[in-house]
Homo-oligomer: A and B are copies of this chain.
């Protein structure tokens, strides 16, 4: 059984990958609108983990619609969720088991139980969120057992998350000021820089 995991190279999706690798053949999927090559950051981490890696190209229209949502809302949550939901739907059209690294304490991009069931029923697939039963605190303990992590402010580094292409798009269309107005300055992301312990 193969599972396709939405993957940014951050700690949550890396832990997701090793959790599922006990039960599934793992494939890591990074989405891109091809406006940046930030997906390569995820590819580097996938190589370190030793799992197959694929890029999923998304229609730029999804990026534009997400950006317009964010401009209208004045905050990024719904726009990011919009991209996440579209990525899941596209993946669901291609494969039977899909997964991501959403945690119990996450607020974005979290689908409601009814949205999850709709996705599963519409495409007749399995959507797995292995970290949904773990707090942030518990996840950090497990992450630190297996990985060397670099945490960074999302204004100081470009990672492979959706957010970076979104920000780039909004910056080009509405200017840097808009980005600073909309996206929180203190939001941290993570990227795995090394594997401490090999997983069987």
Contacts and interface: CB of A to CB of B under 8 A. Distances in A.
Interface in A115-139: 116-117, 120, 126-135, 137-138
Interface string A40-67: 0000000000000000000000000000
Interface in A94-127: 97, 102, 104, 113, 116-117, 120, 126-127
A133 B135 contact: no
Nearest to A113: B104
A36 interface: no
Contacts of A134: 128-130
A19 interface: yes
Nearest to A21: B22
How many copies the complex holds: the figure is 2
A199 B23 CA distance: 10
A164 B135 CA distance: 31
A145 interface: yes
Interface string A183-200: 000000000000000011
Contacts of A131: 133
A53 to B, nearest CB: 22
Contacts of A1: 141
Nearest to A101: B133
A121 B132 CA distance: 18
Contacts of A130: 130, 133-134
Contacts of A102: 133
Interface of A: 1, 19, 22-23, 97, 102, 104, 113, 116-117, 120, 126-135, 137-138, 141-142, 145, 199-200
Given A104-B116, A117-B135, 5 more contacts: A97-B138, A126-B137, A127-B135, A128-B134, A132-B133
